[in-house]
Amino acid sequence: MSRRPGFVLEVDKSTPPTLFWNGEGFTLETLPEGSRVVYAPEPMKALDDPYAAVRHALLHPVGDRDPLPALLHAGMKLTICFDDISLPLPPMEAPDIRQIVIETVLDLAADAGVDDVVLIAALALHRRMTEAELRHALGDRIYDAFAPHGLLTQHDAEDPDNLIHLGQTERGEDVEINKRAATSDLLVYVNINLVAMDGGHKSVATGLASYKSLRHHHNPQTMQHSRSFMDAPASELHTSNWRMGRHIADAGVKVFQIETTLNTNTFPSSFAFLQKREWEWNLRDRATYAASSASLRGAPPRVARQIFHSIESPHAMTSVQAGEVEAVHAVTTENVWRQQGVDVTGQTDILTMGLPYICPYNVNSIMNPILVACLGLGYFFNLYRGKPLVREGGVLILRHPTRPEFHPGHHPSYIDFYEQVLTQTVDPVAIHKQFEESFATDPWYVHLYRTGHAYHGVHPFYMWYWCAHALEHLGRVIVIGADPKAVRRLGFSPASSLNDALEMATDVVGPSPTLTHLHAPPIMMADVH
Amino acid sequence: MTSLLFERSLPRFAAARIASTFGSGRGAALGPLRLVEHDAPSLPGEGWAHVDPVLSGICGSDLATLDGRSSRYFEDIVSFPFVPGHEVVGTLSGDAVGADGAALAAGTRVVLQPVLGCAARDITPLCEWCAAGHVGNCGHLAFGHIRPGLQTGYCADTGGGWSTTGLVAHSSQLFAVPEGLSDADAVTTEPVACAVHAVLRSGISEGDLVAVLGAGTVGLTVTAALAHLVASGRCPAPRALLVGAKYGHQQRLARELGATQALPPDQLPRAVRRQSRSLSFGGAPGTTATLSGGADVVIDCVGSAESIAQSIAMVRPRGTVALVGMPGRVTLDLAPLWHREIRLAGAYAYGTETVPKVRAPRSSAARSASAPSATSAGSAGSAGARTGGARSSVAQVEEVSTFALAFEVVAALSTGRLVSATYPLTRFEEAVAHAGAAGRRGSVKIAFDITKGHTR
C-alpha cells in the first residue's frame, strides 16, 4: 500500500475523540465540530541498505566537493563532528545513524592511511553526553577505539585553548569555533536532520561555536525575525548562520557535510496507536491506550518519566547526501519536506497541541517549565512554512502538566532563570538586556558545563528567545492541566480542561472561533496557504 | 482597667512550651499570660511619667516568651510578674521631659525606647555603654532602684504596653511622635530602630552584596532601614540587596521597601551565588552547600539554627553574619565559621549611632528626636564640604539617636503598612495566635489596640 500523505481532518459528529499528548502521558479530547486536526504523513519507506547508501553518498557528493576518498590522504588531520544527544527524538534504536555514517567514513579514512582522526560531539552550549549516550550514538566499536585515547571529545565552548576566532562576517558577527575542527585538513560533519531547521551551515556555525559567536543569532531580535525556523529562507537565524558558514569556508575551513533524513516512524509497536489516526485504532490500540493511560495516571512522575525515556524510536533513514554544505542541505530540506509537509489552507483562531515528554534538551532528563514553553512556542508553533497555523492575535492552547521540576545536574541555570528572571519579567528583550550576560559568564555555570553534564548558563535564555516570535504573534497562551503557579510564572494562563480553555480563549478571539489541532508527534510541517 | 500579666508559673511555662509545639503563639492560651484587673504602676521616682498606650505591638521576642521558648539567659534580667509590650505608641498622661531634653506636654503622643538603662535605673555614674549612648548594651539591667528588666515589658515595676492601665516610662525613654505619622507608623518605630541599628552594626561597605534572611517584621524593617539609610547617605550603598522571603506578600513588601530581589529562602543561596559569581560545593544530605565566595554581609532576621547555618554558608570568607532575629539555644556546626574566618555579630536594640553627616536637613521627625548627646566629629561648618548629593562625601560623621533615624525611615517608607491587624486585649489569645502565624496568614505585624473593646 502506498504511503498516505499528511491530512487535515474536519471534525464532525462521527469523529472519535482526538489524542492529546500530556507530558508523560496522553488523553483523549472531544474537539468541537468543525475543528480541524492536522495529521502527519505516514512514514516514508526506509533505505534498504543504509551502509550502502551512505557509502554511495560519500562517493557521489553533491555540489562543489570531491568524493570523500579523494579528500583523504595519509598524514592529514581529519576531524569528524557529529550531532549530539538533542537529535533524533526520541533517541533511535541501534544502530544510530551516526554510527552507520562514521563507521563508513572511518573505513574510507583507514583505506587512505589517515591516522590523525578526532571525533567531536558538536554540543554548542548543550550538556556533555554521558558515556552511555556516546556509546549509543557511535557504537561500542568506535567508542572503544577513540575514547580511551582522548580522541573522542565533546566541543567545549568555554575552552579558550581550543577555540579559534576566524574574524567577523560582513555584518560584524564574530565567528569563533572549535580550533581542532577549524584547523583540520578536512572537517566531516555528520548530521541527523529531524526537522528542516537542522543542518546546513548551522551544523558547524552553531554546533562548534562559542558564546561569543552564538550570541549574534541566538537573541530575541533574530528569533522574532525567523518566520519560521523551519523555513530557512525566511529565517533570520539561518541567514546569520549562512553568513557565518560562508565566512568559515572563506577562512579556508574545508567542510564535507553529510546529512541524513528520517521517516516519521516515531514510536515502537507497543505504542503504535500514538501515530495512528484515531478512527483507525483497532481493538489492540484501544486496549493499549486504556491500559497505558490508566497505569501512567497512577504512576509517580519519576516512574512515568523513566518509562518514556526508555523508548527508542524505530525511525529509519530515508536519505543521505554528502558534499558541499549548501548543496547537500538543499537536497536534505527537500527530503524533509517530502516526509513531513502537510498542506493546510488558512490560519486558525485557536491552535491546540498536546506536548509530549521530550524535547531536544531533556533527553534522559526532566521537561522543566521553560522547556515546555520552548517546545510549544519555540518548536511546535514554528512547524510551519508561509504563515503560522494560528493567526496573529490568536490563542495557543497547550496540554502539559508543566510541573516546576528541574534536573539539577542538567539544568542548573534554568532553576535560577525560573526563580530569579521570570519572576521579574517574561519579556525576551528585557531578559536579554538585563540578565543574559551575567548568566552567560557565570563561573559556576561555566564550571558545570565544562566538567559536569549541565547546559550552559545562557541556555535557558536561548530557550526563551525561541519563544519570542510566538510571544509576539499570539494573543494568549493557555496551558491545560498544568501547575497553575508554574504556568503563571511563564506568563501564560492555566486552565483545568479544554472546555475551560476554549471559554477563556473566546475573550481574545471572540465567539465561534476556528480551531485547529496539531496532532504531533510524529513531527510534521504545515505548509499554510 | 486591665492588663495582660505574665507570671512566674512553672506548670504554665510547661503547658505553654507544649502548646507551642503546635505552632508559634499557641502558648498564650495555656501559658502564664492572663488578663487581670490591674492597677497602674506607680512612678518609681523623678523623671518618670505615665504613658497610656494606644497601640502596642506583638514582637517575636514576646512570642518566644509566651511560648516558653525564650533563652534562660534572660532569667536574671527579667522580673515577675510583668506586663508585656515594648513596642508602644501612647499618650502622656502628664507633663514630662523627652529623651532630647525637650518639654513634652500632657497628651503628647510618644513612642517608647524601652531599654531600661542606667539613667532609668538612677545609677550614677552611668556604665561605660550608657555613657557612650549605647543603652542597648547597658550592663546594669539587674540593678538600680527598679527591679531587673532588660526593657519595659519585662520589668515588674514599669508595666508594659499590653495594658489599659498604662505604664511608666523614664524621660530617657520618651520620644515625641513627629507630626504626620499615624499611630500605625509610630508603633513600628521600635522595630525599625532595631533594624536601623542592625544595618549600621553589620558594617556594610560601598558595593557590598547584602543578603537578608527572613522577611517578617524584622526582615522587612531591616530592608526598609537599609534602603532609606542608603538613600539618605547614612550608609554606604550595597550593590544589591537580596531578601529571602517565604511568602508572596513578604516578597512583594520586600521589593516595595527596597530589595533588589526578593525570593523564597531556599532560593536565596542560589541568588547570592549568582550575584557573587561564586562556585558552590557540598550540599550532600545533612550538610549545607557552601559558596566559594558569597555575600559580604548576611543579616539573619530569623535566629534559628537553620537560618544561622544558612547565613554562614552564604557569606564570603571574612564576611559578616549579623544576627538580628533573636536566637535561643541552637546547635550549629561552626567549622565553616572558623575555617572561613566569618564574623558573627549580634545586633540588639538601639542607642546612638555614628553616621555620615548629611547636608540636607533631616525631617522634622528626625529633628524632634535627635539624641541629646549628638555631637559632630567635624567642625560646625564642615557639612558645607558636601556638594555632590547625600552620598558624595562621608568624611564627616555625627552621632544621632537610633530612634531619630528610625523616625526618618518610618516617615519615608510608611512602615505603618506593616501593621496588618489589631486586636483588643480581651482577644489576646487570637491576637497572639495570629502573630505566631502572621506569615502564613498573609500578615506582618499584629498589635493590640488598647482603645478597642473597653473603656479606660
Question: How does B259-272 read in b/e, with b if 16+ C-beta sit within 10 Å?
Answer: bbbbbbbebbbbbb
Answer yes or no: is B385 within a domain: no
Q: Are residues B35 and B132 in the same domain?
A: yes
Q: Are residues B154 and B37 in the same domain?
A: yes
Distances (CA, A) of A500 to A391, A422, A505: 21, 26, 9
Query: In chain B, how long is the greatest CA-to-CA distance?
Result: 64
pLDDT score for A1? 53
Which residue among B316, B331, B346 closes a domain? B346
pLDDT score for A229? 87
pLDDT in tens, B354-392: 999 987 544 444 444 444 443 333 333 333 333 334 444
Bridge partners of B419? B445
Q: Dihedral sign, CA of B43, B44, B48, B51?
A: negative
Q: What distance in Å separates the CA atoms of residue A52 and residue A44, rounded to the nearest whole number?
A: 18
In this complex, which of A416, A424, A444 lies closest to B278 when CB atoms are compared? A444
- A226-235, A428-437, A443-452: lowest mean pLDDT where? A226-235
Which residue among B346, B380, B405 closes a domain? B346
B105 touches chain A (CB under 8 A): no
Phi-psi label, residue B115: left if phi above 0, alpha if psi -120 to 50, beta otherwise:
beta
Q: Are residues B261 and B234 in the same domain?
A: yes
Judged by CB atoms closer than 8 Å, whether chains meet at B271 and A419 is answered as yes
Residue of B243, B266, B268, B274 for testing the chain A interface, max A β-carbons within 10 Å: B274
- A373-387, B135-149, B378-392: lowest mean pLDDT where? B378-392
Nearest to B54 by CA among B110, B97, B98: B110
Domain at B100, CATH number: 3.90.180.10
Q: Are residues B27 and B87 in the same domain?
A: yes
- A175-179, B37-41, B339-343: lowest mean pLDDT where? B37-41
Q: Are residues B122 and B255 in the same domain?
A: no
Q: Are residues B14 and B139 in the same domain?
A: yes
CA A57 to chain centre: 24
Strand order in the sheet with A384-385: A341-344, A525-528, A384-385
Nearest to B221 by CA among B246, B244, B253: B253
Task: Give the rounded percent of residues in chain A with a pLDDT score beyond 90.
Answer: 97
Could you tell me the pTM of the whole model?
A: 0.86
Judged by CB atoms closer than 8 Å, whether chains meet at B270 and A419 is answered as yes
Does residue B69 carry a pLDDT above 90?
no
Answer yes or no: is B406 within a domain: no
- The total domain count for chain B is 2
pLDDT score for A109? 98
**Are B6 and B65 contacting, i.e. CB atoms less than 8 angstroms apart?**
yes
Q: Are residues B160 and B23 in the same domain?
A: yes
DSSP letter, residue A228: T
Q: What is the CA radius of gyration of chain B?
A: 21
pLDDT score for B388? 36
For residue A436, what pLDDT band results from cuts at 50, 70 and 90? very high
Nearest to B33 by CA among B92, B81, B71, B77: B81
Residue by residue, DSSP assigns A175-218 as: EEEEHHHHTSSEEEEEEEESSTTSSTTHHHHHHTB-HHHHTTTS
* B235: amino acid identity, one letter: C
Structural domain boundaries enclosing B213: 203-346
Q: Are residues B122 and B157 in the same domain?
A: yes
Map residue A65 onto helix, strand or coil: coil
Q: What distance in Å separates the CA atoms of residue A416 and residue A391, rounded to the nearest whole number?
A: 33
- A313-322, A428-437, B164-173, B279-288: lowest mean pLDDT where? B279-288
CA distance A360 to chain B (A): 26
For residue A409, what pLDDT band results from cuts at 50, 70 and 90? very high
In this complex, which of B261, B267, B277 lies closest to A443 when CB atoms are compared? B277
For A448, nearest residue in chain B (alpha carbons): B279
Q: Are residues B29 and B140 in the same domain?
A: yes
- pLDDT averaged over chain A? 96
Domain at B252, CATH number: 3.40.50.720
Distances (CA, A) of B309 to A326, A445, B296, B319: 59, 24, 16, 14
pLDDT in tens, B166-205: 999 999 999 999 999 999 999 999 999 999 999 999 999 9
B383 touches chain A (CB under 8 A): no
pLDDT in tens, B86-133: 999 999 999 999 999 999 999 999 999 999 999 999 999 999 999 999
CA angle, A442 then A444 then A449, to 5° = 95
Residue with the three cell numbers 499618650:
B91
Coarse DSSP helix, strand, coil percentages of chain A, rounded to the nearest 5 percent = 40, 20, 40
Nearest to B137 by CA among B115, B167, B159: B115
For residue B8, what pLDDT band results from cuts at 50, 70 and 90? confident
Task: Give the rounded percent of residues in chain A with a pLDDT score beyond 70.
Answer: 100
pLDDT score for B360? 56
**Are A224 and A469 contacting, i.e. CB atoms less than 8 angstroms apart?**
yes
Judged by CB atoms closer than 8 Å, whether chains meet at A444 and B267 is answered as no
Q: Which residue has better confidence, A377 or B292? A: A377
SS3 assignment for chain B: CEEEEECCCHHHHHHHHHHHCCCCCCHHHHCCEEEEECCCCCCCCCCEEEEEEEEEECCHHHHHHHCCCCCHHHHHHCCCCECCCCCEEEEECCCEECCCCCEECCCCEEEECCECCCCCCCCCCCCHHHHCCCHHHCCCCCCCCCCCCCECCCCCCCCCCCECCCEEEEHHHEEECCCCCCHHHHHCHHHHHHHHHHHHHCCCCCCCEEEEECCCHHHHHHHHHHHHHHHCCCCCCCCEEEEECCCHHHHHHHHHHCCCEEECHHHHHHHHHHHHCCCEECCCCCCCCEECCCEEEEEECCCCHHHHHHHHHHEEEEEEEEECCCCCCCCCCCHHHHHCCCEEEECCCCCEEEEECCCCCCCHHHHHCCCCCCCECCCHHHHHHCCCCCCCCCCCEEEEEHHHHHHHHHHHHCHHHHEEEEECHHHHHHHHHHHHCCCCCCCCEEEEECCCCCCC
Terminal alpha carbon distance of chain B = 6
- A70-84, A475-489, A497-511, B3-17: lowest mean pLDDT where? B3-17
C-alpha cell at B57: 505591638
Answer yes or no: is B208 within a domain: yes
Contacts of A420 in chain B (CB under 8 A): 261, 263, 267, 270-271, 274
pLDDT score for B369? 45
Q: Are residues B215 and B179 in the same domain?
A: no
- pLDDT averaged over chain B? 89
For residue A385, what pLDDT band results from cuts at 50, 70 and 90? very high
Map residue A149 onto helix, strand or coil: helix
pLDDT score for B395? 59
A416 touches chain B (CB under 8 A): yes
Residue by residue, DSSP assigns A426-457 as: --HHHHHHHHHHHHHT-HHHHHHHHHSSPPPT
Residue B284 burial (10 A CB sphere; 0-12, 13-18, 19+) = exposed
Q: What is the ipTM of this complex?
A: 0.81
For residue B453, what pLDDT band results from cuts at 50, 70 and 90? low
Judged by CB atoms closer than 8 Å, whether chains meet at A442 and B267 is answered as no
pLDDT in tens, B229-255: 999 999 999 999 999 999 999 999 999
Terminal alpha carbon distance of chain A = 29
A:B CB pairs within 8 Å: 33
Q: Are residues B49 and B160 in the same domain?
A: yes
Q: What distance in Å separates the CA atoms of residue B38 and residue A77, rounded to the nearest whole number?
A: 96
pLDDT score for B393? 47
Which residue among B346, B378, B395 closes a domain? B346
C-alpha cell at A197: 531547521
Q: What distance in Å separates the CA atoms of residue B129 and residue B445, rounded to the nearest whole number?
A: 31
Task: Give the rounded percent of residues in chain B with a pLDDT score beyond 90.
Answer: 78
C-alpha cell at B172: 530617657
Contacts of B263 in chain A (CB under 8 A): 419-420, 423
Q: Are residues B9 and B43 in the same domain?
A: yes
Answer yes or no: is B263 within a domain: yes
* A461: amino acid identity, one letter: F
pLDDT score for B29? 73
A434 touches chain B (CB under 8 A): no
**Are B403 and B135 contacting, i.e. CB atoms less than 8 angstroms apart?**
no
**Are B307 and B214 contacting, i.e. CB atoms less than 8 angstroms apart?**
yes
Q: What distance in Å separates the CA atoms of residue A479 and residue A500, rounded to the nearest whole number?
A: 10
Answer yes or no: is B160 within a domain: yes
Answer yes or no: is B61 within a domain: yes
pLDDT score for B386? 30
Answer yes or no: is B143 within a domain: yes
**Are B83 and B4 contacting, i.e. CB atoms less than 8 angstroms apart?**
yes
pLDDT in tens, A115-170: 999 999 999 999 999 999 999 999 999 999 999 999 999 999 999 999 999 999 99
Q: What distance in Å separates the CA atoms of residue A511 and residue B302, rounded to the nearest whole number?
A: 53
pLDDT score for B367? 42
pLDDT score for B55? 98
Answer yes or no: is B357 within a domain: no
Q: Which residue has better confidence, B27 or A523? A: A523
Q: What distance in Å separates the CA atoms of residue B235 and residue B203, rounded to the nearest whole number?
A: 9
Omega of the bond leading into A90 within 30 degrees of 0 (cis): yes
pLDDT score for B1? 79
Bridge partners of A436? none
Judged by CB atoms closer than 8 Å, whether chains meet at A415 and B271 is answered as no
**From the CB of residue A85, how many other CB atoms can be counted at a distance below 10 Å?**
23
pLDDT score for B263? 93
